[in-house]
Structure 1
Amino acid sequence: MSFIRSVVLGCGSYLPEKTLTNAQLSEMVETSDDWIVQRTGIRERHIAAEGELTSDLATAAAKLALSDAGLTIGEIDMIIVATATPDDTFPATAVTVQRKLGMEHGAAFDMQAVCSGFVFALSTADAFIRASQAKRILVIGAETFSRILDWTDRTTCVLFGDGAGAVILGASVQDGTREDRGVLTTHLRSDGRHREKLYVDGGPSSTGTVGHLRMEGREVFKHAVGMITDVIEDAFRATGYGADDVDWFVPHQANLRIIDGSAKKLGIESEKVVRTVSLHGNTSAASIPLALSVARDDGRIKRGDLILLEAMGGGFTWGSVLLRW
């Protein structure tokens, strides 16, 4: 029996030119390289230049993904941009990316699930493709978190960076088994009771301002590993796969201790974990596609590999995707 799967056709990523090291941060707030590395694993992050917008980062990543897939923008049916830092309150950043890419057809919209945004966007794109409502979808995670940080708060400003990553999903007729290429299963969750643990203290309807990111770090850490493993175990149950079958674990790059703690709890070998947090920091919705692009470009991820994605973000939101490259 034939089955439509969403197969990754190409990927690309973009990082702003400017880097901000821990040593440079220590000149801005009371912190140190040792303190940051010990608690987060982060050594540096990229910061968007003045006037460089989330849509600029997203567009650059999208162009590389299109080139990688050997496609033109005219062959894309839809654009979904996962971001918590849009250019404007409206229109959607995806519409701006659509214009910058010269796309005058199809549909474009944003997905807001904070750090889980790319997983939510990928799941949404997969649903459109499986429903035969689109054949090729450009899925982008892009953030300029530097614009919503309180640069006097050493507990948050050291964690985040800017960047963008993109993948193109395309419809492919498969056999409908777990050996298929493409997205095999997705699992999404949210729980609004945890809002105060990770949020931005501003918005159009509340304060009329952009606001700054606020976080209860210990509380986020306490919930993260359990929530992450919950949706991954769901993915394993849905497919019959287990930790030993995974070729590469590509988690949201928030904190090295969370990444390693999750892998250990799940029984995933450390050598199978893709880690980019040391050089990128937490780029929220951009972190997974950035890490995917890095691991594909350096030869780790190859066609046929079983890839496990997971993320957790403010809300709380969390989710997993299991796909075969």
Structure 2
Amino acid sequence: MSLAHHTSNARPEAYITLTAAEMPNAPVDNDHIESVLGMINGKPSRAKRIILRNNGIQSRHYVLDPNTQEPVCNNAQLTAQAVRNLFASKNELNQIDLLACGTTMPDQIAPGHAVMVHGELASPPCETVSTASICISGLMALKYAYLAVRNGDSRKAVATGSETASILLRARNYEAETQAKLEQLETRPEIGFDKDFLRWMLSDGAGAVCIEPQPRTDTTSLKIHWIKTLSYANELETCMYAGATKQANGDLIGWNRYEGAALMKESVLAIKQDVKLLNDNIVPYAITKTLDRLVAETGLQADDIDYFLPHISSMYFYHKVADALADMHFVIPQEKWFTNLTTKGNTGSASIFIMLDELVKSGRLKSGNKLLCFVPESGRFSSGFMLLEVV
């Protein structure tokens, strides 16, 4: 009898069976941000009020100790704790056979973030993969884990997204704001989407999911129907970046081209955005062009969606996304939207994990509900969507 008679051609499915998050320290409200991040040149920021009014964030978390402004943990340690939070026992943690970790800024240039997280966990040998990008890096890690389970290469995969942006957002890393920039902020809020905007919006957190080939009976499991990501780097220049400076022609000069003193003098390591490029392109590319293609490929319809989980960098973009969906005749009623941006802040690659964990544990989900997750990224303009179904 041939081997074919003994094996099944059916591919395993992949289910998110466990979710977890780790938010460092106590939440920080808008009145106390500068007590944690510090004041530039000892003076309160005049831009903060304008930027917070537009981004709508009310509280967030930082790994920084508010008394010393030093981190209580690094990125790998924060991520490892999110992974531990997934499991009820060390024994189950030790069964992980794949660890896929995404982040914008790992603790070091090399080695990769995932091996450092694995080292913190001290779990048995397993496959590790580090995905490098900005907000979409967490979804990329999740897709790697999803595909590994679907291919039968993994039976207990863990994917993570994490950020410790506050370490770079401390006052010591910034120059004084200019009067001209403040005047522009009053009439054009989007002009603040550079270092100042990022300072008052980005925050810290980590999230993790466990992906397995069968759903669990004791938890809410989410079947992964598909994960789609697209890059538009062939059409657009770099928008959000760190460890480089941007030239007039759109090219980047990387950190390794600079001498040590110049790295600080020219703020090469700071996180920056090309604000005009962002405002002109993020919605048309991340929503319209990408969703048009996904609808054609998958047959997805707005009526199929019970919950829409958008990772939006700011509430400034909330209605812009809604308007873009309406223009496409892909209307998702506002009562189906779920975001915790205002209470958890913009946690970048961790955001979709933290949203999923809160929604799953809210008790609102019912069998058969379909969740559409959306993760845009302005790095060089990428967009990702994920369709999940409650089982």
Is the TM value for this pair above 0.5? Answer: yes
Which whole-Å CA distance do the structure 1 matches of 2:213 and 2:294 have between them? Answer: 21
Deviation at 1:181, TM superposition (A): 5.7
More displaced stretch, 86-95 vs 137-146: 86-95
Q: Provide the residue aligned with 2:181 in structure 1.
A: none
User: Amino acid of the residue matched to residue 223 of structure 2?
Assistant: G
Question: TM-score, length-normalised on structure 2?
Answer: 0.74
* Structure 1 counterpart of 2:389: 324
2:80 counterpart of 1:55: no
1:29 aligns to 2:45 (yes or no) = yes
Query: Does the CA contact (< 8 Å) of 2:311 and 2:339 recur in 1?
Result: no
Distance in structure 2 (CA, Å) of the matches to 1:127 and 1:213: 31
- Residue 103 to residue 18, structure 1, CA distance change in 2 (3 Å): same
When Rg is computed on C-alpha atoms for both structures, the one with the higher figure is 2
Q: Where do 4+ consecutive residues of structure 1 move more than 4 Å?
A: 150-153
Measure how far apart 1:18 and its partner are. 4.3
Does the 8 Å contact 2:62/2:164 carry over to 1? yes
Match status 1:9 vs 2:51: no
Match of 2:223 in 1: 182
| 1:1-325 aligned within 5 A | 2-25=10-33, 28-33=44-49, 35-49=50-64, 50-67=71-88, 72-149=92-169, 150-152=173-175, 153-172=195-214, 182-192=223-233, 194-202=236-244, 205-207=256-258, 211-229=269-287, 230-266=289-325, 267-313=331-377, 314-325=379-390
Shift of 1:268: 0.9
Give the deviation of 1:289 after TM superposition.
Answer: 0.4
Distance in 1 of aligned mates of 2:315 and 2:75 = 25
Say if 2:52 and 2:201, in contact at 8 Å, map to a contact too: no
Counterparts of 2:93 and 2:130, CA distance in 1: 18
CA shift, 1:214, in A, is 0.8
d(CA) in 2 for partners of 1:71, 1:248: 34
Distance 1:158 1:284 in 2: 14
- Normalised by the length of structure 1, the TM-score is 0.87
Q: Flag the 1:122–1:261 CA change in 2: closer, same or farther, 3 A.
A: same
Q: Which moved more, 1:56-65 or 1:218-227?
A: 218-227
Deviations 1:216-272 (A, max 9, x none): 234323322222323334443333331121111111131123234324432111111
- Secondary structure of the corresponding residue to residue 186 of structure 1: strand
C-alpha separation between the residues in 1 aligned to 2:203 and 2:14? 29
> What's the CA shift for 1:71?
7.1
Specify whether residues 247 and 38 from structure 1 end up closer, same or farther in structure 2 by C-alpha distance, changes over 3 A only: same
In structure 2, give the amino acid aligned to 1:211: L
In structure 2, what is the Cα distance between the partners aligned to 1:99 and 1:25? 32
Shift of 1:8: 0.5
Q: What is the rounded CA distance, in whole Å, between the counterparts of 2:227 and 2:290 in structure 1?
A: 9
1:151: how far off?
4.6
* Contact kept in structure 2, 1:235 and 1:321, CA below 8 Å: no
How many residue pairs get matched?
317
Contact 2:166 2:202 in 1 (8 A): yes
Distance 1:67 1:303 in 2: 24
Supply the RMSD in Å over aligned alpha carbons: 2.6
| 2:102–2:113 Cα contact (<8 Å) kept | no
What SS class does the counterpart of residue 154 from structure 1 fall into? helix
How far, CA to CA, are the matches of 1:233 and 1:90 in structure 2? 38
Percent sequence identity is 23
Structure 2 gap segments, 5+ residues each: 1-8, 65-70, 176-194, 216-220, 245-253, 326-330
Taking the aligned partners of 1:222 and 1:301, their CA distance within structure 2 comes to 36
